[in-house]
């Protein structure tokens, strides 16, 4: 039995996947371009590859394909304002980074946001068509993490949220098991919980 594809349900299903939030930047002819993106993923450790998916209609699309170099700033919870600003359609291109403290990456010269949890600079490695988006795979040429902040900004069902940390680490299966299931087999309060 086959049912017709329901695009509304597809969108709703995708919205139930919680993700981190990034700002991706590039520069073309001295002009900065930026985009808030949750469609970001690691691809490979060797070589070090990541990807972003960019809508063909977004002005960032042509800019990142032209430049061949881009940076990813992974946002903390405190950077919700920056995430909202760089997701605003029709914002002025000139001076758009003036609202957010930033500096130039040491390898590509692309803007990176000071407030971020981590930063990557990339050179475009491959571009694949993916329906109404381009899948831009970048080779990471520089990476750093911040020691000052460790609370990621999350995105779920068109809302920003935060992570409640558990004492357990995914590196320790025994600690994780013990934090989730108590002696009676009940879910414990130590489980990581979503809060919107």
- Domain range annotation of the chain: 20-164, 166-196
- C-alpha distances in angstroms, 183 versus 52, 145, 178? 43, 38, 9
> Which pair of tokens denotes residue 30?
């001295």
Cβ(48)–Cβ(139) below 8 Å: yes
| Residue 189, pLDDT score | 43
pTM for the model stands at 0.82
Mean per-residue pLDDT of the chain: 87
Q: What sections of 17-87 are H helices per DSSP?
A: 59-67, 80-86
| Residue 2, pLDDT score | 63
| Residue 5, pLDDT score | 86
CATH C-level class of 20-164: mainly beta
> How many Cα atoms within 13 Å fall on the side-chain side of residue 152?
18
Please name which of 106, 128, 105, 103 lies closest in space to residue 114, comparing C-alpha atoms: 103
Cβ(101)–Cβ(93) below 8 Å: no
Average pLDDT over residues 54-67: 95
Please name which of 127, 75, 126, 84 lies closest in space to residue 102, comparing C-alpha atoms: 75
Q: Running DSSP on this structure, what letter comes out for residue 117?
A: S
Question: Is residue 186 pLDDT above 70, yes or no?
Answer: no
In the structure, what pLDDT confidence band is assigned to residue 184 with cuts at 50, 70 and 90? very low
Question: Is residue 192 pLDDT above 50, yes or no?
Answer: no
Residue 125: beta bridge partners? Answer: none
What's the rounded Cα separation, in Å, for the pair 47 and 84?
A: 32
What's the rounded Cα separation, in Å, for the pair 91 and 24?
A: 16
Tokens 């695009």 correspond to what residue? 7
Average pLDDT over residues 145-159: 90
């Amino acid at each position: 039995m086959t049912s017709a594809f329901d695009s509304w349900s597809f969108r709703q299903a995708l919205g139930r996947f919680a993700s981190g939030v990034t700002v991706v930047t590039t520069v073309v002819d001295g002009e900065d371009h930026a985009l808030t993106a949750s469609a970001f993923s690691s691809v490979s450790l060797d070589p070090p590859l990541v990807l972003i998916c960019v809508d063909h209609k977004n002005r960032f699309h042509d800019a990142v394909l032209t430049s061949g170099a881009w940076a990813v700033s992974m946002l903390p919870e405190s950077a919700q304002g920056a995430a909202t600003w760089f997701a605003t359609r029709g914002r002025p291109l000139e001076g758009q980074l003036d609202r957010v403290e930033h500096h130039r990456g040491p390898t590509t010269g692309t803007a990176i946001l000071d407030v971020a949890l981590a930063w990557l600079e990339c050179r475009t490695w491959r571009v694949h068509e993916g329906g109404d988006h381009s899948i831009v795979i970048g080779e990471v040429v520089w990476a750093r993490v911040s020691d000052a902040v460790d609370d990621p900004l999350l995105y779920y069902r068109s809302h920003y949220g935060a992570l409640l940390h558990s004492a357990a680490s995914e590196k320790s299966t025994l600690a994780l098991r013990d934090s989730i299931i108590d002696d009676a087999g009940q879910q414990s309060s130590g489980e990581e919980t979503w809060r919107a």
